[in-house]
Amino acid sequence: MIIDPLATREIGTTGLRVSQLGLGGAPLGDFSSRLVEEEALATVEAACQIGLKLFDTSPLYGHGLSEHRFGHVLRSKERNSFVLSTKVGRWLRPRPPGEIDRGWFVGGLNFEPVVDYSYDATMRSLEQSFQRLGLNTIDILHIHDVDVWTHGPESYERHFRVAVDGAYRALEELRRAGVIRAIGLGVNEIEPCLRFARDCDIDCFLLAGRYTLLEHAALDELLPLCERRNISILLGGPYNSGILATGAVAGATYNYKSAPPEIMERVSGIEAVCRRHRVPIAAAALQFPLGHPCVASMIPGAISAEQVERNAGLMRTEVPPDLWAELKREGLMPDAARVPA
């Protein structure tokens, strides 16, 4: 089976169609290293030249830097040639460099993210994004990081209530007015997706790392719910922050930390199956989630044109059906998992 990274799938019932491979913007905010500006811009340009049609960014990524870089390239393109998504839930205020907690980012701009899921803050965040991008339309707006992983249990509950009453209400008005085409939720956990799906009219979830070659819990409730409700999944972090790209090597990362022994052991088992079928584990990781009809696009990040081209090549790598069958026989993939066919 060979997957075409440029083939498109619809986001929910919105009419928006995105390529099966997109470009994630967190690394272009100087996530793990400071990027040379020309190389960062060349990364976005390479995605455009290949023909990718989904570009995802956020005010958080480099505290505005990722949006600037995306906009610098994308505003020179035909607007109907790409789908752009960004996020709300934080607005940015200028601060002296020494007073900024940069979190996961080693570089970025001198702005401090202010977490705020209220109606007014959502509108403020969107206006700031328009300015940074230099574009007057945004296709998908995700409510960002309303999860325990980001905020802790108590703050999560408070932020969830504010987001439903504030951010979601704002996005619903914007969608109704035609300012945006789709409402999404960008999180690192399954449970918030289930709650938002029950309480709100959501078009898509940007789910980071929770339905991958390594993790399958979304099969239990989330994917059946998405199928019933026509909600699409955009898969961020398809390599689980690294280990499904590198394999179980020394220093491999999982969820942005050193992979624990049980994860290393499981990935070693997956690698062994992939080797027997002469398929890079990264190719299997990029392709597997697309076996489910609710998964519209895979959006790995990249920091160079070469990485963008490599991801496209991995998606085109032929993966024999016997590989998926063997993973199931070995207990490394649930029997219920749908695979590309």
Q: Clarify whether 254 is annotated catalytic.
A: no
Name the nearest CA neighbour of 243 among 216, 206, 269.
269
Domains defined for the chain, CATH in brackets = 8-241+293-329 (3.20.20.100)
Q: Report the SS3 class of residue 188.
A: coil
Q: Clarify whether 87 is annotated catalytic.
A: yes
pLDDT at residue 40, as a whole number: 98
The band of 1, judged by pLDDT with boundaries at 50, 70 and 90, is confident
Q: Which two tokens stand for residue 65?
A: 């830097």
Q: Is the dihedral of CA 23, 245, 242, 333 positive or negative?
A: positive
- pTM check: above 0.95: yes
User: Which of 30, 53, 61, 156 does the annotation list as catalytic?
Assistant: 61
Evaluate if residue 337 carries a pLDDT over 90.
Answer: yes
Which tens digit of pLDDT belongs to each residue from 213-234? 999 999 999 999 999 999 999 9
Evaluate if residue 175 carries a pLDDT over 90.
Answer: yes
Percent of the chain at pLDDT > 70 equals 100
User: Which of 56, 139, 145, 147 does the annotation list as catalytic?
Assistant: 56
What is the distance between the alpha carbons of residues 305 and 134, in angstroms, rounded to a whole number?
A: 23
Which tens digit of pLDDT belongs to each residue from 111-138? 999 999 999 999 999 999 999 999 999 9
User: Which of 30, 53, 87, 147 does the annotation list as catalytic?
Assistant: 87
Which tens digit of pLDDT belongs to each residue from 25-51? 999 999 989 999 999 999 999 999 999
Which tens digit of pLDDT belongs to each residue from 6-27? 999 999 999 999 999 999 999 9
Q: Clarify whether 119 is annotated catalytic.
A: no
